[in-house]
Amino acid sequence: MNKVYLKRKISPRVANGHPWIFNNEVEKIEGDVQGGDVVEVLDHDKKFIGKGYINPKSQILVRLLTRTRTDEINDQYFIEQISKCWEYRKRIGYTENCRLVFGEADSLPQLIIDKFNDYFVIQTLALGIDVWKTAIVNALNTIFQPHGIYERNDVPVRELEGLPQQKGFLSASFDTKIIINENGLKFHVDVENGQKTGYFLDQQDNRRAIQHIVKGADVLGAFTYTGTFEIHAAQYGAKSVLGLDISENAVAQANRNAELNGVQDRCRFETANAFDVLKQWGKDGRQYDVVMLDPPAFTKSRETIQKAITGYKEINLRGMKLVKPGGFLVTSSCTNLVNPELFLQTIEMAAKDVRRKIRQVTFQTQSSDHPIIWGMDNTQYLKFLIVQVQ
Ligand code: SAH
């Protein structure tokens, strides 16, 4: 096996467990490596560190798969690893739907697999994992005997790895509009044309957190996508629920989801730009008992963090203005570049600007099928906050 030797003086990141090895940390590469090959990584003193896949075209030269010398990376390895991922999800309480594989946090870098009951959606976001796609599909077939597997590799980040954007079936074709169960409700999921893998499983635990505050409430939800939080609110006893999204497709699906759950009498969805509408309604003096916000990541790069913070502050400020005294703001941020502390500071700034006092009800992260590895910053990305607005 080809070998990659690290420089003597590098940050302790790799030694401390991080799976990425950057170009500038490498002293020399032994052998004729091709992008996507599995290589052995050794430190300056030739001590074994691990095995991983290499892509000389990427700034992250190697992503480690294992630190056990005897592990052989082959088809069987993927069956074992993905089985472990499933055992773990079951152990922490997931039965039907879960993020089965969460990339680096499951020691399968850049591999995402979402399980929607008997259907699976996969993303292979780096060359070195993409070459194992057949093995991964084979592992899913062996472990689950699924009804269908779909590839959602229509993601720009693949191009940095020299990979094309593509989507399609990795099993016999099936109707890609499926229905899943969550917290006793049903949701249409479009695995072919929905956002990301079709559904945001990362909020599935958080959706339960609104249970008590929405009882008898008039609720406004913005950035609703397919209406999951809003339909939960209706089910938990809200008096009226209005959900907004800029995407017509999302709104149409949200309305179908309301009907699917028989809550369409008190839960409806409209197409709108939340920034404009919330500003206008603030001026009009509209008031809600609960306002929920779940905007998209306003940034994907460090250079534009400030812009993202301005966006989060602005939308939360507009949302808070619409909350009746004593009501609640439910607010999220899904970019790992804004860390939890910075997010809370941003909400605090928004509260100061609108001269409202807030108190924290709960502060959570992504659902626990997306494990967090300390020291691997990008494994913790979601912030979910409920505050009472006085
Ligand atoms: N809460 C959802 C996920 C929201 S994803 C869930 O749990 O499933 C973010 C959503 O914001 C997307 O559906 C996107 O279409 C929408 N969006 C983006 N910009 C918007 C804007 N300016 N106004 C309203 N919606 C917007």
Using the predicted structure, report yes or no on whether residue 29 has a pLDDT greater than 90: yes
**Model's pTM, two decimal places?**
0.97
Whether 202 lines ligand 1, by a CB cut-off of 6 Å, is no
Q: What is the pLDDT of residue 303?
A: 84
Cα separation, 79 vs 135, whole angstroms? 8
Share of the chain above pLDDT 90, in %: 95
> How does residue 3 score in pLDDT terms, banded at 50, 70 and 90?
very high
Going from the N-terminus, what domains does the chain have, and what CATH number goes with each? 3-66 (2.30.130.10), 75-178 (3.30.750.80), 200-389 (3.40.50.150)
Q: What is the pLDDT of residue 304?
A: 86
List alpha helices for the chain, DSSP H: 75-91, 127-130, 133-144, 228-235, 248-260, 274-284, 305-321, 340-353
- Looking up tokens 């605090």 gives 348
Model confidence pLDDT, tens digit, residues 131-187:
999 999 999 999 999 999 999 999 999 999 999 999 999 999 999 999 999 999 999
Whether 203 lines ligand 1, by a CB cut-off of 6 Å, is yes
Residues 6+ apart with CB under 8 A from 93: none
Which residues is 387 bridged to in the sheet?
A: 329, 360
- Residue 220's H or E segment, with its range, is strand 218-222
Model confidence pLDDT, tens digit, residues 337-364:
999 999 999 999 999 999 999 999 999 9
Cα–ligand 1 centroid distance for 298 (angstroms): 11
Whether 245 lines ligand 1, by a CB cut-off of 6 Å, is yes
Using the predicted structure, report yes or no on whether residue 377 has a pLDDT greater than 90: no
Using the predicted structure, report yes or no on whether residue 385 has a pLDDT greater than 90: yes
Ligand 1 atom at shortest distance from the alpha carbon of 207: 7
Model confidence pLDDT, tens digit, residues 73-94:
999 999 999 999 999 999 999 9
Whether 250 lines ligand 1, by a CB cut-off of 6 Å, is yes
- Radius of gyration in angstroms for the set of CA atoms belonging to the chain, rounded to a whole number: 23
Using most ligand atoms within 8 A of CB, pick from 201, 208, 224 the residue to mutate for ligand 1.
Answer: 224
First to last CA, the chain: 63
Mean pLDDT across the chain: 97
Q: How does DSSP classify residue 24?
A: G
